[in-house]
Chain A
Amino acid sequence: MLGIPKSLTLVAKPQTLGLITEFVRAGAREANLPELQTGQLELLIEEIFVNIYRYSYPEQAPGSITVTYTIPNAGELSVEVKDQGIEFNPLAAPAPDLTLSLEQRPIGGLGILLLKTLAGSLSYRREQGWNRLRFGISANS
């Protein structure tokens, strides 16, 4: 429904990625996002989620993640992901060097580039021990 936030909180670990994906996919359906933008949304959530379970919390002590979405207008979805792991601002992460040859390319580091490129109005706040990452995705993006 328009404007009413929906949230899901669960433990950030590889086995829960599917549940988070299903949750935001339902949001995409409610917002009537086209197939391409729905895929982009799933990708953004995966990149954020994987960063949190791999880097934000210690491997032996996974923590929780809360995803909240609202539909400000039909065809638009606004998403917030929050966790209580170590402070990490993906917006401040250095950009990968895309001019390198295949042999020189590091094998990782592309997730944050995808996040910065595909997420509309991406913003980050560190607030009372929480990492709060917000972005939007719309049918016209």
Chain B
Amino acid sequence: MTIERSNVDGKVVLHVTGRMDADNAVLFERECESCIAEGITSLVVDLVDLKYVSSMGLRSFVVIGQKLREKGGDFRICRLTGLVRQVFEITRLNQVLPLHDSLESALVGR
């Protein structure tokens, strides 16, 4: 898994590529944590190139979503495909972490 960080329209976007599993989900969590430590409370995560996520990865999304909400921040996830979308739907995380179909809509808000 690789995580690329960029700034788009003044917002931090994390572009995650590859597989997020028990072995590496913690790396995603750490990257988000370091953004939070820098004072960033609004994060956009682009999952268009994420091919796989297991429950250990979902755990990280829940942890970060809770932390950002506690700070009154915003956690937006966009462009889920295939298995990743299916896993978010089965666990109904799509109900508590609203998903965006495009990066543009994640950047402008709900």
Contacts and interface: CB of A to CB of B under 8 A. Distances in A.
A binds B: yes
Interface of A: 14, 17-18, 35-36, 39-40, 42-43, 46-47, 50, 96, 98-103, 105, 107-108, 110-111, 113-114, 117-118
Contact of A47 (B51, B55, B62, B95): B55
Contacts, number: 72
Interface residues of B, number: 26
A9 to B, nearest CB: 20
A26 B85 CA distance: 24
B96 A17 contact: no
A50 B56 CA distance: 9
Interface of A, helix, strand, loop or mixed by DSSP: helix
A50 B22 CA distance: 8
A59 to B, nearest CB: 15
Given A17-B22, A39-B51, A105 B62 contact: yes
B15 to A, nearest CB: 20
Contacts of A103: 66, 69-70
Contacts of B92: 98-99
B83 interface: yes
Contacts of A107: 59, 62-63, 66
B33 interface: no
Contacts of B62: 102, 105, 107
22 contacts: A14-B23, A17-B23, A36-B83, A36-B86, A39-B51, A40-B83, A40-B86, A43-B54, A46-B22, A46-B54, A47-B54, A50-B55, A96-B91, A99-B92, A102-B97, A103-B69, A105-B66, A107-B63, A110-B59, A110-B91, A111-B56, A113-B90
A35 B82 contact: yes
A98 B95 CA distance: 9
Contacts of B70: 103
Given A17-B21, A102-B62, A110 B55 contact: yes
A114 B90 contact: yes
Contacts of A96: 91
